[in-house]
Amino acid sequence: MHLVTYRTPGGSSVGVVEGASVLRVADLVPGAPDDMIGVIEAGEPLLATLRAALASAPAGARQPLASTELLCPIPQPGKIICLGLNYALHAKEGGNAVPDYPAFFIRANSSLVAPGAPVVRPRVSDKLDYECELTIVIGKRGRDIPEDQALTHVYGYTLLNDVSVRDYQRKTTQWSAGKNFDGTAPVGPVIATADDLPPGADGLGIRTRLNGQVMQDSDTSDMVFKVARTVALMSEIMTLNPGDIIATGTPSGVGYARKPPVFMKQGDVVEVEVDGIGILRNPVIDAGASA
């Protein structure tokens, strides 16, 4: 099942995507939560009820997906955790060793960008790079989660474009500056529930296109730390809560490693894609420009 958060006259609602339509969860199941974290916390019982309700949903319950303004699936995640150098070939293209422990870092909510909204190239840099990433959505609270139980804590998956300001990323050994400029982390467009994908989302094609040209083209099986291992290791450090998201790193083909380097600029359109989840498409604008 694919779930979205979308704009409504009263603010936002959670919907189910079925074909070219969106159906509001709270209309399909009266009394259901109308926010994504609430839907996630309701878990499989709500998903089962939704599946049954979809089969008999009236035509009037549907609205066209094409004319629906999608928001970040989880507008304010409790945590946005990211992994660096988690694809073996990406580590090598940057001259880095394949890590024996994940390079974890944190993103701020102020960096998030909705599907279709502009990525902002900051005034202070022209080295704006793309990074397509499969992103875990936590569904069940846990700490010190055993690896063999970790997938039971995964609600589903979304996409994150871990857009990086490369010169600021390199200013220190810590990556936070280059990873947290406002408006540099598109997320979405949907959350694909875990039952829609192979266990651990393994073996899925993952790619980036810049202005229609394929720049990254890989497979999630190249991840050094798989989904279950990632969840288990992060839960050694902190409690994971429903709605937390973990971006699992990017494959080879990033802009800074190309010869000559390729960086994004105003007028570009960047798309990141993972098979079975969808395409996250965003234009690029300069800070201070209008979309």
CB 18 within 8 A of CB 53: no
Q: What is the pTM of this model?
A: 0.96
pLDDT given for residue 291 in this prediction:
62
pLDDT per position as a tens digit, 76-105: 999 999 999 899 877 777 777 888 999 999
| Percent helix, percent strand, percent coil in the chain, to nearest 5 | 25, 35, 40
Low-confidence ranges of the chain (pLDDT < 70): 291
Enter the DSSP assignment of 79. -
pLDDT digits (tens, 9 = 90+) for 162-176: 999 999 999 998 899
Residue 166: CB atoms within 10 Å? 17
SS3 state of residue 165: strand
CB crowding 121-148: b at 16 or more within 10 Å, else e:
bbeebebbbbbbbbbbbbbbebeebeee
